[in-house]
């Protein structure tokens, strides 16, 4: 499976830059999610990779072969890129059995029957549908249909599998089951996978790395835990995970990549992004990202707030707390709290970063 390289890719529709100077390297066998709000350019980036769109600038290489070049206008056709594609709509033939749907791309290529049947059996087994070969797609659930679509791209032994919001049509329960199915597929095939979604939980659950996109740019590309703990800017901090980004006043640098931040009456010790550590002091360009698991409801805490909402999550409560400075903070608590109750919080960690966009 392939190494994929995008260099300075730009795609313009009229005077709107749907993809703006994007560079991206995807390793062999990696599972990468393209995550971002509606209209940020995820699907356009996937379509550029697939060959359905031509870049205005930049180059795309698959396993070292240039397949699109914005300067020379060199383009390898989608069918010659050997990429498997799974869409939101399953695009199965309703009049063909599951097995024939899966084997159809091989039939088109005139592959011999015996080899075709072997590959169909193997692909159906990978997606755990070996007992459904003779059914018609109308006799399957949405999740099973999506697994047929996965098996169909697998028989082609593609360089990589591109998935465009493949779970968007499924209900919440089935989405979780299918996340397991995709992870299992990834483990068993070692395929390079590029997965478009606007659902951060889905991206976090599956991807080795996530590229967070916003208005045509990649804001940050990192492992899910790095995006969550160390977002590079305000957009990423707000889009990935629960929590709050608060403006901070005076910041004093400490040792070991940490700093002291004044927030209301509380002094908080937080981690600080190396890139902005030189900008400490009174600085309203810096923000403090607080995640709920780093905050405790604590009679001795120094950060004061008032409970505005309390929701039972099973095992714990999620409180919406309004701080004296007017900002809202999500907090987890073992105990139920009354709406309007004054509570004190202690903060054991936070992350200070630049609120300005890096790009």
Ligand X SMILES: Nc1ncnc2c1ncn2[C@@H]1O[C@H](COP(=O)(O)OP(=O)(O)OP(=O)(O)O)[C@@H](O)[C@H]1O
> Which positions lie near ligand X, rule CB under 6 A?
13, 18, 36, 38-44, 198
Residue 50 CB, nearest distance to ligand X (Å)? Answer: 12
Provide the H-helix boundaries in 28-112. Answer: 42-50, 98-108
Residue 53 CB, nearest distance to ligand X (Å)? Answer: 8
Q: Which is nearer to ligand X, 44 or 189 (CB)?
A: 44
36 vs 219: CA distance, rounded Å: 10
Q: Which is nearer to ligand X, 215 or 306 (CB)?
A: 215
Residue 38 CB, nearest distance to ligand X (Å)? Answer: 3
DSSP for 313-356, written as a single string: -SSSEEEEEEETTS-EEEEEESS---TT-EEEEEE---EEEESS
| Cα four-point dihedral sign 12, 15, 21, 24 | negative
Give residue for tokens 């830059």: 17
Geometric angle at alpha carbon 265, from 263 and 270, rounded to 5°:
35
Residue 41 CB, nearest distance to ligand X (Å)? Answer: 4
Residue 54 CB, nearest distance to ligand X (Å)? Answer: 12
Residue 49 CB, nearest distance to ligand X (Å)? Answer: 12
Q: Which is nearer to ligand X, 220 or 333 (CB)?
A: 220
Q: Are the CB atoms for 224 and 231 separated by under 8 Å?
A: no
What is the distance of C-alpha 25 from the center of its chain? Answer: 16
Task: Give residue number: closest CB to ligand X.
Answer: 43
Q: Which is nearer to ligand X, 204 or 211 (CB)?
A: 211
Total Cβ atoms within 10 A of residue 38: 7
Q: Which is nearer to ligand X, 41 or 84 (CB)?
A: 41
Beta-carbon contacts of residue 155 (< 8 Å; ≥ 6 apart): 102, 103, 105, 106, 119, 120, 123
Q: Which is nearer to ligand X, 36 or 103 (CB)?
A: 36
């Amino acid at each position: 499976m392939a190494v994929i390289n995008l260099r300075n890719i730009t795609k313009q529709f009229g005077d709107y830059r749907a993809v703006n100077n994007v560079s991206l390297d995807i390793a062999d066998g990696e599972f990468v999610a393209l995550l971002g709000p509606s209209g940020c350019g995820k699907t356009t980036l996937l379509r550029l990779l697939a060959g359905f769109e031509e870049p205005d600038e930049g180059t795309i290489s698959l396993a070292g072969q240039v397949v699109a070049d914005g300067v020379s206008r060199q383009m390898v056709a989608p069918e010659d890129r050997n990429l498997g594609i799974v869409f939101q709509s399953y695009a199965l033939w309703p009049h063909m059995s599951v097995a024939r749907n899966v084997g159809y791309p091989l039939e088109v290529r005139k592959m011999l029957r015996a080899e075709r049947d072997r590959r169909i059996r193997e692909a159906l087994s990978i997606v755990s549908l070996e007992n459904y070969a003779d059914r018609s797609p109308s006799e399957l659930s949405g999740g099973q249909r999506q697994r047929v679509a996965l098996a169909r791209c697998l028989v082609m032994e593609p360089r990589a599998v591109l998935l465009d919001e493949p779970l968007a049509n499924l209900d919440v329960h089935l989405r979780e089951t299918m996340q397991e199915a995709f992870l299992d597929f990834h483990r068993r095939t070692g395929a390079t996978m590029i997965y478009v979604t606007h659902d951060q939980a889905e991206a976090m659950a599956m991807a080795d790395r996530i590229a967070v996109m916003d208005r045509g740019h990649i804001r940050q590309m990192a492992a899910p835990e790095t995006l969550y703990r160390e977002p590079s800017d305000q957009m990423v901090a707000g889009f990935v995970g629960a929590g709050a980004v608060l403006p901070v006043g005076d910041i004093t640098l400490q040792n070991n990549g940490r700093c002291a931040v004044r927030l209301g009456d509380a002094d908080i010790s937080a981690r600080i992004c190396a890139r902005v550590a030189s900008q400490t002091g009174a600085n309203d360009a810096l923000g403090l990202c607080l995640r709920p698991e780093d905050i405790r409801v604590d009679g001795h805490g120094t950060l004061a707030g008032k409970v505005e909402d309390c929701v039972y999550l099973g095992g714990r409560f999620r409180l919406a707390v309004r701080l004296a400075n007017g900002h809202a903070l999500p907090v987890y608590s073992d105990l139920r709290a009354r709406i309007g109750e004054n509570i004190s919080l202690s903060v054991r960690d936070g992350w200070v970063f630049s609120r300005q966009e890096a790009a």
